[in-house]
Amino acid sequence: MPLKRALDGLVYLLVRVFLAFIGVLPSFLAYPFCESLAVLVYLLDGKHRRIGLINLNIAFPERDEQWKRRILRKSVQQLGDHLVELSRLHRLTPEKVKRRVRFEEGRGLENYLKAGGGVEPVLFLTAHISAWELLPVAQALYGHPLSFVVRPLDNPFLDRWLTRLRTRCGNQIISKQGSMRPVLKTLKAGGDVGFLLDQNSQEKEGVYVPLFGHPASTNSSLAALSRKTSISIVAGFIFPRHRRGQYTIRFYPPIEVSRSGDVQKDISEAMARLNRRIEEVIREYPHCWLWGHRRFQTQPDGRSPYQAGEKV
Report yes or no on 202 lying in a domain: yes
Look at residue 1 in the predicted model and tell me its pLDDT.
73
User: What is residue 204's predicted lDDT score, i.e. its pLDDT?
Assistant: 86
Residue 298 lies in a domain: no
In a domain, 295, yes or no: no
Q: Digits of tens for pLDDT over the chain (312 positions)?
A: 788 899 999 999 999 999 999 999 999 999 999 999 999 999 999 999 999 999 999 999 999 999 999 999 999 999 999 999 999 999 999 999 999 999 999 999 999 988 887 789 999 999 999 999 999 999 999 999 999 999 999 999 999 999 999 999 999 999 998 899 999 999 999 999 999 999 999 988 889 999 999 999 999 999 999 999 999 999 999 999 989 999 999 999 999 999 998 999 999 999 999 999 999 999 999 999 999 999 999 999 999 999 864 444
User: What's the number of domains the chain is made of?
Assistant: 1
Is residue 304 assigned to a domain?
A: no
- Whether residue 309 is contained in a domain is answered as no
Which candidate, 143, 39, 127, 146, places its Cα nearest to that of 83? 39
> 305 in a domain, yes or no?
no
Percent of the chain whose predicted confidence (pLDDT) is above 70: 98
- What is residue 308's predicted lDDT score, i.e. its pLDDT? 62
> Is residue 306, in this structure, part of any structural domain at all?
no
Instruction: Give pLDDT, residue 311.
Output: 46
Residue at 297 is within a domain = no
The whole domain housing 178 covers 2-288
